[in-house]
Structure 1
């Protein structure tokens, strides 16, 4: 199974005994959407609802930190996602949150995982079948194996300021990156990690919501000043849209680490330096 699958491919695979389809839609409550209700109203037949808003470390004050391996495995098992499953993720979110689910699954040891290109919007635009209500779930064993080599902590990101070993690429909008637009979180500084590059996650998608591929995708990174042959650490607001950059790099055959705390941690920490503007002015 390719990492990025088409609606046509998925339609042909519906009902396969080893296929598990997952709705990984997540949006902030401020947008006024109830994504669980949206799922029950219409989803791809057989799909289960992941609920990324709850699949996190709820003891951590930061918004979207990785849960424990045990919590992750328990949730996967309850959704019927287990060993031997081919997992296809999709979303109906402006933030393309299937990529966050993909990154989490990879971090916790699942490797036969794909994203549906164009998500639910493309599926529905093509007039394909949807189901309503909840699916009947069958508990399956999920062998969890946490691999945190692709996860970066605050201390590691601070150390990287001095070493410069990894390029830091920020997936937020240009206005959030430069500090022109204030951060929406209380007591969080505007700006970005000094020395980081800005590639808004929207730059990885075509106008119809499908992923850029090949040269077009590589060009998006190149235009942001990213050297694909050097190590990369990714950041954003809370670790969600940075996951789209991680998936985009995966499509290009590259691995990248992700700073899970992202700006919600760095921007609120009084001890971290913050840069403002396209030409950096560093505070702290």
Structure 2
């Protein structure tokens, strides 16, 4: 990810756009209240004229089963990532105009209420979609349906194979927010006070037992000084985000202190969005190092391991 932006964490950036809980009747009691809605809430608001449901899952499964009027989103589709040139980083954010056109084609307008849900535990892709919407300045109107399609179906709620008829939306130019950390931001954070860098990859990549990094520059280990909160650790067995108390414990045990700003990274900037979402729900200011280990390894920057010899 090559966007170099001023250092303004996500929680602060969203606050400048208004309440983070536009879908609720009153202001959020905790950060997560403005970030998630229940399946019951979605079921009771399906007829809302401004509601836009985004289905994130295997494109092959979507035609046969999705929530009524949900639109398929695939990170492999046009508009969600910049075209990858030879030697470029994977999953870079698109241009503002490309993303704006993609969102409008999905029926998203300035006054839309956007609900993202995952199918078959597509956790990190759905969180990447939410991160992209936040980056585009639409985070105040975007929430996650907690538990996704698995919980929806387990509760006996209906799905459909009928494809939605989508009327293009009307979007003003996107207000891109400075919520992405550059390589230079991460290097400064290594010695900064009250900033923690978090590796969201599986523990084997963090400790160096498994090889990671860009295919052209493999390495073992993590960014020096980084803490470990694997993206899979923030979800309960039913696919819902873990409770506030559980998330607070996870980040405390990892070494994150109250008031810290959290910068997350992973392989290419996707898994890290799950850990970022959880940190934000736990009340931390957050940023994404989108270049992640893909960029760090290509730059041949140092790594450290925790393998006991």
Q: TM-score, normalised by structure 1?
A: 0.89
The offset of 1:160, in angstroms, is 2.7
Indicate yes or no: 2:242 matched with 1:243.
Answer: no
Question: Cα–Cα, structure 1 residues 195 and 116, in superposed 2: closer, same or farther, change >3 Å?
Answer: same
Rounded to whole Å, the distance in 2 between the matches of 1:208 and 1:76 is 29
* Equivalent position SS for 1:238: coil
* Equivalent position SS for 2:198: strand
For 1:1-284, what aligned pairs fall within 5 Å after superposition?
Answer: 1=23, 2-25=34-57, 35-54=58-77, 55-60=80-85, 61-92=88-119, 93-110=121-138, 111-163=140-192, 166-183=195-212, 185-187=214-216, 188-270=218-300, 272-277=301-306
Moved more, 230-239 or 94-103: 94-103
The offset of 1:138, in angstroms, is 0.6
Q: Deviations over 1:8-34 (max 9, x none)?
A: 111111121011100123xxxxxxxxx
Q: Which has the higher contact order (CA 8 A, sep 6+)?
A: 2
Q: Deviations over 1:63-119 (max 9, x none)?
A: 211111111100000010111000000112343422111111011110211001111
* Structure 1 unpaired stretches of 5+: 26-34
Rounded to whole Å, the distance in 2 between the matches of 1:165 and 1:218 is 16
Question: Cα–Cα, structure 1 residues 159 and 274, in superposed 2: closer, same or farther, change >3 Å?
Answer: same
Question: Cα–Cα, structure 1 residues 134 and 228, in superposed 2: closer, same or farther, change >3 Å?
Answer: farther
Rounded to whole Å, the distance in 1 between the matches of 2:197 and 2:168 is 40
* Structure 2 unpaired stretches of 5+: 1-22, 24-33
Q: Is the 8 A contact 1:89 1:113 kept in 2?
A: yes
Rounded to whole Å, the distance in 2 between the matches of 1:8 and 1:140 is 26
Q: Is the 8 A contact 2:56 2:73 kept in 1?
A: yes
Q: Deviations over 1:202-228 (max 9, x none)?
A: 111111111112211111111111113
The offset of 1:190, in angstroms, is 2.1
Give the superposed CA RMSD.
1.9
Question: Cα–Cα, structure 1 residues 5 and 74, in superposed 2: closer, same or farther, change >3 Å?
Answer: same
* Equivalent position SS for 2:288: strand
Rounded to whole Å, the distance in 1 between the matches of 2:192 and 2:280 is 25
> What's 2:29 paired with?
none
Rounded to whole Å, the distance in 1 between the matches of 2:191 and 2:153 is 48
* Equivalent position SS for 1:45: coil
Q: Is the 8 A contact 2:182 2:291 kept in 1?
A: yes
> What's 1:29 paired with?
none
Rounded to whole Å, the distance in 2 between the matches of 1:116 and 1:96 is 14
The offset of 1:133, in angstroms, is 4.7
Q: Is the 8 A contact 1:41 1:132 kept in 2?
A: yes
* Equivalent position SS for 1:221: helix
Question: Cα–Cα, structure 1 residues 165 and 226, in superposed 2: closer, same or farther, change >3 Å?
Answer: closer
Rounded to whole Å, the distance in 1 between the matches of 2:156 and 2:194 is 48
* Equivalent position SS for 1:128: coil
Q: Is the 8 A contact 2:206 2:228 kept in 1?
A: yes
